[in-house]
Structure 1
Amino acid sequence: MTDETLLETRGLTKEFKGFVAVDNVDLRVKRGTIHALIGPNGAGKTTVFNLLTKFLPPTRGTIHYKGSDITRDNPADVARRGVIRSFQISAVFPNLSVLENVRVALQRKSTGSQFAFWKSDKTLDKLNDAALAILDRVGLKDFAQVHAGALAYGRKRTLEIATTLAMDPEMMLLDEPTAGMGHEDVDRVRDLIKEVAKGRTVLMVEHNMSVVSGICDIITVLQRGAILAEGPYAEVARNPQVIEAYMGTTHA
């Protein structure tokens, strides 16, 4: 963890036909931190993610990554810079094996076979060892030959983190990684995020306060699209405005 700002927004704003979903947000994510974005339903958390990863254009404001203005980049450009996102809804290829899912992601790093769906399996076998190493790291090696669609929900989300890792991101954006999970799966994924964050920067939207309090260095609280409070969990949790707006609710 350093004082270097890796990702920064300045006056980031998104309006939808007069409705302000994100309101003048100045966000700074430090390199090497796990930074959480929390807030009540409709606070604008996922919209911020969509702006950062260029799935939505901002109405106003700018986005900077490693000091470069990436406001006009497209999603592929942002991914090439090393900013890789997972989604709130599990996004795996259900008819491919767990190994094949990770191997598809690894193709980005394999010269001459980027996302070569038309090539035979044999040409991609050289990626198997790397894929298995990633699956071992996230606890899915024993499920390598299982169709992803047959996995339990918590393991599907774990596979999604594995495919995100396979893209070798400098910064991971995780959108509600523990949503819909039972207690055991939440604990597993929380520990996994802490492990894969070593040497990386993580920005996550998360509703589970036990996850946020256990692994996050900095928390930014959004309310009605604007930043309500920011700081370490212990500090934010004592903020009367945050308690009123968020801590008394059961969902993000």
Structure 2
Amino acid sequence: MPSSSIGPASAPHSDIILSARALTKTFRGFTAVSGVDLDIKRGHIHALIGPNGAGKTTCFNLLTKFLAPTSGSITYDGVDITRSEPAEIARLGLVRSFQISAVFPRLTALANVRIALQRKRRGDSFDFWRSARCLGALNDEAMALLEVVGLAEFAQSNAGELPYGRKRALELATTLALDPQMLLLDEPMAGVGKEDIEKIVGLISRVSKDRTILMVEHNLSVVSSLSNQITVLARGRILAEGDYETVSKDPRVIEAYLGASGAH
């Protein structure tokens, strides 16, 4: 794996990279997340799960700064990010993937990754549209990232023509171009056919080797195969935490899933 382009963003400060305390979100009197305390260990794959309506999506949106909390605090790598914007935390190395539609369908896979690399270097500037030489200089780094996600042979294919599973892989490559220390994956298996699930699982496992991952995922077989730690939410509160064997045998978790319509 090419360390120059996808290694960790900074040296570790502690075992805990992302922490929330008393995290709460209220919408017009309805409390979607209530007093959540959460610690994500550096280098782990941590899954956030729960039955429909459990508050996991709201919690995830709070942690990724797509929502502002009503109360509580969030700390990332020793920095208070409670009031930060998504772009600010991305610069710190905390990047949300599979929600950032990084694919320009009429451009090649290689061009998509080059653009992401250019954004990393120039921030929000789009002057790279005027400089083919500037983008061309990034070809080697872009190809290295495509190789990491198994797309090197599709470098000259238009992104819009790639099968869905490979588009997901391309989205991940463009996210890795931002040099994240921690990846936040929002339902990475959503819309992925059965034939591609194993490939995406393998891809997530590979890119997790030198970074932390927090994911929301409905597919419990994926959660069991990938996760070091699982937090189960129900009615906006933490119901249980632990490895898959522990939480899957917890009577409260079993009751929450069996009692919820549409639970997986």
Q: Which residue of 1 aligns with 2:74?
A: 63
Alpha-carbon distance in 2 for matches of 1:216, 1:224: 22
Using a 3 Å threshold, how does the CA distance of structure 1 residues 90 and 39 change in structure 2: closer, same or farther?
Answer: farther
Q: Secondary structure at the match of 2:230?
A: strand
CA distance in 2, matches of 1:14, 1:159: 33
* Distance 1:248-1:104 versus aligned 2 partners, 3 A rule: farther
Report what 1:167 is aligned to: 178
State the AA in 2 paired with 1:187: E
Residue 39 of structure 1 pairs with residue 39 of structure 2: no
Q: What SS class does the counterpart of residue 12 from structure 1 fall into?
A: strand
The residue number in structure 1 matching 2:223 is 212
Q: Determine the structure 1 residue equivalent to 2:41.
A: 30
Partners of 1:236 and 1:62 lie apart in 2 by 26
Task: Name the structure 1 match of 2:107.
Answer: 96
Q: Please, which of 58, 76, 83 is the counterpart of residue 87 of structure 2?
A: 76
Shift of 1:191: 0.6
1:187 paired residue among 184, 193, 198: 198
Is 1:126 aligned to residue 126 of structure 2? no
**What amino acid maps onto 1:64 in structure 2?**
T
Aligned amino acid, residue 127 of structure 1: L
Distance 1:59 1:27, change over 3 A: same
Are the structure 2 counterparts of residues 49 and 115 from structure 1 closer, same or farther at C-alpha, using a change threshold of 3 Å?
farther
The corresponding residue for 2:6 is: none
Are residues 1:142 and 2:153 paired? Answer: yes
Note the alpha carbon deviations across 1:21-43, whole angstroms, 9 max, x for none. 11111110000000000111222
TM-score, normalised by the number of residues in structure 2: 0.89
Of the structure 1 ranges 25-34 and 89-98, higher mean CA displacement relative to structure 2 is found in 89-98
Question: Deviation at 1:90?
Answer: 5.1
SS of structure 1 residue aligned to 2:26? strand
For the 8 Å contact 1:107–1:113, the answer to whether it is kept is no
Query: Are 1:132 and 1:144, in contact at CA under 8 Å, matched by a contact in 2?
Result: yes
Unaligned runs of 5+ in 1: none
Aligned to 2:209, the other structure's residue is in SS state coil
Instruction: Give the Cα separation in 2 of the matches to 1:31 and 1:92.
Output: 29
Which whole-Å deviations, capped at 9, do the CAs of 1:51-90 have from their partners, x for residues lacking one?
A: 1122211001000012221111111111111000013585
How many residues align? The count is: 252
CA distance 1:186–1:89, change in 2 (3 Å): farther
- Is the contact made by 2:115 and 2:135 (CA closer than 8 Å) also made in structure 1? no
Task: Give, as a single letter, the amino acid of the residue that structure 1 aligns with 2:234.
Answer: Q
CA contact (8 A) 1:88 1:179 kept: no
Deviates more, 1:185-194 or 1:18-27: 18-27
- SS of residue in 2 equivalent to 1:11: strand
Partner of 2:211: 200
Secondary structure class of the residue paired with 1:197: helix
Unaligned runs of 5+ in 2: 1-11
Counterpart residue type for residue 187 of structure 2: E
Distance 1:98 1:67 in 2: 35
Choose from 113, 117, 122 the match for 1:106: 117
